[in-house]
Amino acid sequence: MGRDFGALASPGIRGLASYDPGHDIVALRNKAGEQGLLELGGNESAWGASLLAMAALRSELQTLELYPDPRGGVLKHALAEAFGVPREHLLLGNGTHELLMQIAQVFAGPERPVLVSRYCFAVYPLAAQAANARLDVVEALPKDHPSQPRGHDIDAMIAALTPAHGLVMLANPNNPTGTWLTTDQIERLLQAAGPDTLVVLDEAYGEFLALPGCESALSLLSKYPNLLVTRTFSKLHGLAALRVGVLVADPGVVAVMERVRESFNVNSPGLAAAAAALKDEAHIATVLHETAGNREALAIELKARGWFVHPSQTNFLLVDFGTPEAAAAIDRGLLARDIVVRPMRGYGLPQCLRITVGKVEQNARLLKALDAVMAEAGLSAPGAGASA
């Protein structure tokens, strides 16, 4: 046996499991049949990047020998204009994953625990453990909640808050449940948090949230200096391969975070494509409109087959297939038909699969395959009565 270098790692890292990306997508692509692999597991945009973003990206390929702008000036200017904040409120990251890990690195630790909700995004517990911080998990709302099954229980989170908490981390809308919080709920949480407790609102899917009373937490930044908001270009803007994220926060928070930001952490094609994507209003409108319509149509079809479909304000649906065995059998059957969805065992929901909303023809292929898998495996849905 080789030397146990894990024993030399810091305490938080020793027991840390690396992020699970799900199925081996590259291997599945290589062996897919004539139809190709239908990838509905990563919540990527079926509509891809905008033409403006693609043009900006191609222009940067002529100067790959040069380092990117370490300050990200062009993108920060575009973000400041889009978000209505000064540039000193912005910190760029290699995707929001990097930013979330760094936030915990800076503001959590053995004496500053992290508060999260059950069924939170998998990176939050990883970030807390890497920072050697205690993770306090608040139970989510029950599955039979009338409007937010398995969603964040804000009242319970407020009750669990203590002055010692360094961070509260939650997503709105939430991955993997698709559920959401109102602006009033977010503000109640912010009011309950002490001045030394930073509240991180991960809005990776924030642009998809289109309900009355549900504004972006960006609107609250001027009122609450302990609020941190993260956004990504991986979902709505279809730039997942380029890894571009942004933190919007009080300039004092940003200044401290700059101390751990890696130099040149966002590449030149990413900076240029992201800045251009923000200006392509027609593409943004198309993606939002098509996603919302296709999401509702897909949810109706899945519910008609008797499965429990969580309400969603994202570009995916969380579907409860009744038992872990049924979900695993459906996952295997779909993989055999070159369709990838995301198993939820790692989220404590082994009976569920998360399904990205695709274009009309992609959703039709998924539904046809689901019917075939159910018939082939002799499975029956647990019954009607799925969530609205």
Containing structural domain, residue 41: 23-48+282-376
The answer as to whether 382 is a domain residue is: no
Number of domains in the chain: 2
Q: Are residues 158 and 245 in the same domain?
A: yes
pLDDT reported for residue 382: 66
pLDDT reported for residue 26: 74
Dump pLDDT digits (tens) for 191-242. Answer: 999 899 999 999 999 999 999 999 999 999 999 999 999 999 999 999 999 9
Residue where one domain finishes, among candidates 245, 279, 313: 279
The predicted model gives 266-285 an average pLDDT of 97
CA 97 to chain centre: 9
Dump pLDDT digits (tens) for 36-58. Answer: 889 999 999 999 999 999 999 99
Query: Are 9 and 325 contacting, i.e. CB atoms less than 8 angstroms apart?
Result: no
Q: What are phi and psi of 339, to 5 degrees?
A: -125, 125
Q: Are residues 30 and 65 in the same domain?
A: no
pLDDT reported for residue 385: 42
The answer as to whether 66 is a domain residue is: yes
pLDDT reported for residue 388: 43
Which pTM does this prediction carry?
0.92
Residue where one domain finishes, among candidates 218, 252, 279: 279
Q: Residue 143 in 3-state DSSP?
A: coil
The answer to whether residue 15 scores a pLDDT higher than 70 is yes
Q: Are residues 242 and 295 in the same domain?
A: no
As a whole number of angstroms, the distance between CA 123 and CA 14 comes to 17
Q: Residue 53 in 3-state DSSP?
A: helix
What value does the mean pLDDT of the chain take?
A: 93
Residue located via tokens 């309950």: 192
Q: Are residues 153 and 294 in the same domain?
A: no
